[in-house]
Structure 1
Amino acid sequence: MQTFKIIHPSPALKPFVRYYWVLQDSSPGMVSQRTLPTGCMSLVFHCGERLKVVSQNDLQPRCFISGQETSFTDVISTGNIEMIVTVFQPHTAKMFFHIPVSLFCNRNISIYDMEDIELQDLAGKMGDADNLEKAVTLIENFLLNRALLGNSYNIPRLSNVVRHISNSVQTNIKGLADIACLSEKQFCRVFSEHIGTTPKDFLRIIRLQRTLSILQHNPKIGFAQLSYECGYTDQSHMIKEFRLFTGYTPKEYISRCAPVSDYFTF
């Protein structure tokens, strides 16, 4: 049996946290799942059995920060799953962890490998929480305390940049740097430190998410029209990019999965 729940953050955290999700799954046997780049970083706690990362032939850490991903990942459940995941806004994770989040790109870093005593203390308290509601409250309190310490003056300018990317099919790095009131060199450095990947890669990830969103809401759309609406140069370009990020062509993906975009849904 599987239950999945979305929990919205408190109003004070809403500018910084997209949502929390909780997954409980007691399904017998192994279940495989392919995860795709979302454009957002996450804080993950396994309260049950951990997921196995196929490419690494190893289990995920018990509690970890999941950085920006630039390709798909296959994971397999190994038993009773109970996960609590905090999904940050694309540009806000750095304010909670105080280090350049580019260090997390394509990595799952255990909380216990970080020099962050308060975060490790949170992990210990999570292990003692006797229900999911209390566990989410612990995470909220930790994040609220970090938010009260003040956030970077770069957060508002990057918020404007991310909003522009989300609302624009076509944009470029120079235009984004102008929105942030930074030189292109400064902008690329600040962007990478706060969002966790380069502006170019982030634009490609959001284009993928836009593609998934359109397929979700208009599954009968033609691929030529789809490539145009998502800002690809042509259909061939879309298929190449889609395969890079998902491992499938759009046609193969639709036959195996139900397209959905977390980025454009919430």
Structure 2
Amino acid sequence: MIESRTRFQNPLDLFVKCLWFSPGEHRNWQQERILPTGSVDLIFKLQDDQPIRIFDPADNSPRSVSGATVSGAYSQPFGLDTSRFSPTIGVHFHPGGAAPFLGVPVKTLLNQHLSLEEFWGTQALRVREQLLQATSTAERFGILEQALLDRLTEPDPNYQAMLHAAELFRTSRPTSVKAVSEALGFSSQRFIRQFQNAVGLTPKLYCRIQRFQSILDQIVRGNQLPWVNVALKHGYYDQSHLIQDFREFTGVTPLEYRPVAPDRKNHMLMTE
């Protein structure tokens, strides 16, 4: 069972959506397909010498990354090795929330898993070692909170505006990128550049992913609306446009989509 924490010391609540811990689960499948959310995550495997193994969506070729990893914002799905039992803990940032903890423009992490050591140096190893030695989930969450507070840097003066823009796009769809940029006092090009640095995606791509996420919400809730109505409600030109976007972000059609569980909509069972 996955445990989570969603309330934090100030000012972490501005940046962090949740901390989560999974003790590890025995599964009857070897891979899951992880769908794009528009967010960045930190992931720590809590088993000695066990890396994270992911698969390229294009050819399913595997590669291993550090047991302390940054997962950048993804614009496409990727495969995750679920064949090995391993306790795991992570930080799931609000869209745009990761930048002050990493010290680089988040756009440089697009579609990548990278070692956290590249950003935190030896502190990444120390934090993972502390997590390995901790004896309770509450203790592990406390270790992560303190590590994040230690790494928090003063963000760019425009950063708060980008967090606000990301939240607007997420909660007020369909929302015009031009209207938001003008309301915040940015030229179009400057807004796109600042948004990419903070969130990791262009505003247009981010909005497409959030719109796709809203479709997943309808599916896992079991809403049986005609697809043409769903498409128009969420700002698609027509039903075929919805299906095209859905295929891009999942590799399947809406009718073929199978989450591993209703509360894990972005973890999809791999089909033959």
Partner residue, 2:239: 235
State yes or no: 1:7 paired with 2:5: yes
Partner residue, 2:40: 41
Partner residue, 2:87: 82
Stretch of structure 1 that moved more, 25-34 or 228-237: 25-34
Question: Which whole-Å CA distance do the structure 2 matches of 1:206 and 1:261 have between them?
Answer: 16
Q: 2:190 aligns with which of 186, 190, 208?
A: 186
SS in 1 for 2:241: helix
State yes or no: 1:67 paired with 2:72: yes
Q: 1:226 aligns with which of 222, 225, 230?
A: 230
Q: Within 5 Å, which residues of 2 pair with 1:7-26?
A: 7-12=5-10, 13-26=12-25
Task: Give deviations 1:157-196, integer Å, cap 9, x for gaps.
Answer: 1122122212222223211211332111111111111101
Q: Give the letter aligned to residue 14 of structure 1.
A: D
Partner residue, 2:54: 53
Q: Give the letter aligned to residue 35 of structure 2.
A: L
Question: Which whole-Å CA distance do the structure 2 matches of 1:40 and 1:242 have between them?
Answer: 18
Q: Within 5 Å, which residues of 2 pair with 1:128-147?
A: 128-147=133-152
Specify every segment of 5 or more residues in structure 2 that has no aligned partner in the other structure, as ranges. 267-272
Q: Is 1:242–1:249's contact at 8 Å kept on the other side of the alignment?
A: yes
Structure with the larger RCO, 1 or 2 (CA within 8 Å, 6+ apart): 2
Question: Which whole-Å CA distance do the structure 1 matches of 2:213 and 2:192 have between them?
Answer: 22
Deviation above 4 Å: which 4+ runs of structure 1?
A: 256-263
Q: Is 1:37–1:70's contact at 8 Å kept on the other side of the alignment?
A: yes
Task: Give deviations 1:106-164, integer Å, cap 9, x for gaps.
Answer: 000102233634444323433333443322211100112334x4333223211221222
Question: Alpha-carbon deviation of 1:40?
Answer: 0.8
SS in 1 for 2:14: coil
Quick one: structure 1 residues 59 and 215, their matched pair in 2 at CA, closer, same or farther if it must change by over 3 Å? Answer: same
Stretch of structure 1 that moved more, 174-183 or 81-90: 174-183
Normalized against structure 2, the TM-score is what? 0.86
Greater helix proportion: 1
Q: Give the letter aligned to residue 39 of structure 2.
A: C
Question: Which whole-Å CA distance do the structure 2 matches of 1:45 and 1:29 have between them?
Answer: 23
Question: Which whole-Å CA distance do the structure 1 matches of 2:225 and 2:76 have between them?
Answer: 25
Stretch of structure 1 that moved more, 44-53 or 186-195: 44-53
Question: Which whole-Å CA distance do the structure 1 matches of 2:27 and 2:227 have between them?
Answer: 38
Q: Give the letter aligned to residue 22 of structure 2.
A: L
Normalized against structure 1, the TM-score is what? 0.88
Equivalent pairs counted in the alignment come to 259
Quick one: structure 1 residues 9 and 117, their matched pair in 2 at CA, closer, same or farther if it must change by over 3 Å? Answer: farther
Partner residue, 1:253: 257
Q: 1:173 aligns with which of 174, 177, 187?
A: 177
CA RMSD of aligned residues (A): 2.3
Q: Is 1:216–1:261's contact at 8 Å kept on the other side of the alignment?
A: no
Specify every segment of 5 or more residues in structure 1 that has no aligned partner in the other structure, as ranges. none
Q: Is 1:46–1:83's contact at 8 Å kept on the other side of the alignment?
A: yes
